[in-house]
Amino acid sequence: MLRYPKNEMSRSSGPSARCRRTPWSWALSLVAAVGLLASPAPAQEIDPAPLTGPDVKAASAILVDAATGTVLWEKNSQVRRPMASTTKIMTATLLLESDRLDEWVPFTEHARTTPYANFNARPNEKVRLRDLLYAIMLRSSNDGCVAAAEHVAGSPWKFAQDMTAKAKALGALDTNFVTTNGLYHPQHYSTAYDLAIMTRYAMQNPLFNEIVATKSKTISRTLNWKDTVVTTHNKFLSRYPGADGVKTGYVKEAGRCLVSSATHQESGAPWRLIAVVLNSPDMYTESARLMDWGFQNFQPVFVARKGESVGMATVQGGSEEQVPLVAASDLKMVVRREFGNDTEREIRMREGLQAPVLRDQVAGTLVALVNGRAVGQVDLIAARPVTQVWTAGMGPWTGASMGFLALLLGPRYVRKVAKSARRRRRRLPAGRREPDSQWPGHG
**98/214 Cα distance (integer angstroms):** 22
Q: What is the 3-state secondary structure (H, E, C) of 376-412?
A: EEEEEEECCCECECCCCCCCCCCHHHHHHHHHHHHHH
Side-chain half-sphere CA neighbours of 253 within 13 A: 14
Q: Which residues belong to the active site?
A: 85, 88, 140
> Does a cis peptide bond (omega within 30 degrees of 0) precede residue 246?
yes
Dihedral-angle region of residue 299 (phi above 0 means left; psi in -120 to 50 means alpha; beta otherwise)? beta
Structure-derived torsion over alpha carbons of residues 374, 378, 384, 390, reported in degrees to the nearest 10: 70
CB atoms within 10 A of CB 106: 14
Return the amino acid letter for 393.
Answer: G
Helix, strand, or coil here: 157?
helix
Q: Give, to the nearest 10 degrees, the angle between helix 129-137 and helix 88-96.
A: 160
The answer to whether the CB of 112 falls within 8 A of the CB of 127 is no
The answer to whether the CB of 258 falls within 8 A of the CB of 290 is no
The strand ranges marked E within 21-146 are 43-45, 60-65, 71-75, 104-106, 126-128
**261/271 Cα distance (integer angstroms):** 10
Helix, strand, or coil here: 28?
coil
